[in-house]
A and B are shown apart, each in its own frame.
Chain A
Amino acid sequence: RKEVEQDPGPFNVPEGATVAFNCTYSNSASQSFFWYRQDCRKEPKLLMSVYSSGNEDGRFTAQLNRASQYISLLIRDSKLSDSATYLCVVNSNTGGFKTIFGAGTRLFVKA
């Protein structure tokens, strides 16, 4: 089992749609959680941090469920510019600081 698992997609949605991405992680001692966005042939960029209390930034909402070891990202009112790969990222400090990347979920938003 991978340490961080994501649905690879691709998700093909029309503009204005709401889309949800899921991510699970295996290390219960993981400490911090993030969603990154990666455009084709570019470096990943931080989209938002994820907290148990939830985190909302405009059209984006991230949620963490520690009991289920589950992370989600919700995008409302999708825009064409949201087309990218979304990476679920988990940090742990078990045996040293370690960052684990999910394989990413590809999103295509179409007009």
Chain B
Amino acid sequence: GAVVSQHPSWVICKSGTSVKIECRSLDFQATTMFWYRQFPKQSLMLMATSNEGSKATYEQGVEKDKFLINHASLTLSTLTVTSAHPEDSSFYICSARILGNTGELFFGEGSRLTVL
């Protein structure tokens, strides 16, 4: 199956700093990628849809100035958590879908963010 790689897997940062997470499709082109957040014992919550060459589409309640998304190429999307606070600590996961397929999503390995 298709491969999506996410980096870093773990990150610990101080409150107030910014953290960038990368999501790469390794063997296919992804015009659209999705970013999720998952808190412990809860389901995946879609944060935003990242569109190559255009602005991301954010879900209701997600601050676009807080969570900056850039999708500059067909294989790379980045999520930057700006001025991180402890409540931003979570598991962030990206996914991508191959156009024309049955809708199966391919997930990155996830990035666990801990803000001290």
Contacts and interface: CB of A to CB of B under 8 A. Distances in A.
Interface string B85-107: 00000010100010000111101
A98 B47 CA distance: 12
A44 interface: yes
Contacts of B42: 103
Given A41-B91, A43-B93, A87-B43, A99 B105 contact: yes
Interface in A47-100: 49, 87, 89, 91, 97, 99
A43 B108 contact: yes
B43 A91 contact: no
A87 B102 CA distance: 17
B52 to A, nearest CB: 15
Interface residues of B, number: 19
Contact of B43 (A31, A43, A46, A102): A102
B44 A91 contact: no
Nearest to B38: A38
A99 B102 contact: no
A91 B1 CA distance: 19
Nearest to A46: B104
B103 A32 contact: yes
Contacts of B93: 43-44
A99 B97 CA distance: 11
B43 A101 contact: yes
B94 to A, nearest CB: 9
Contact of B112 (A41, A45, A87, A101): A41
B110 A43 contact: yes
6 contacts: A34-B103, A34-B104, A43-B6, A46-B105, A49-B102, A49-B104
Closest 8 CB pairs of A and B: A43-B107, A91-B103, A103-B43, A32-B103, A43-B110, A101-B44, A101-B43, A43-B93
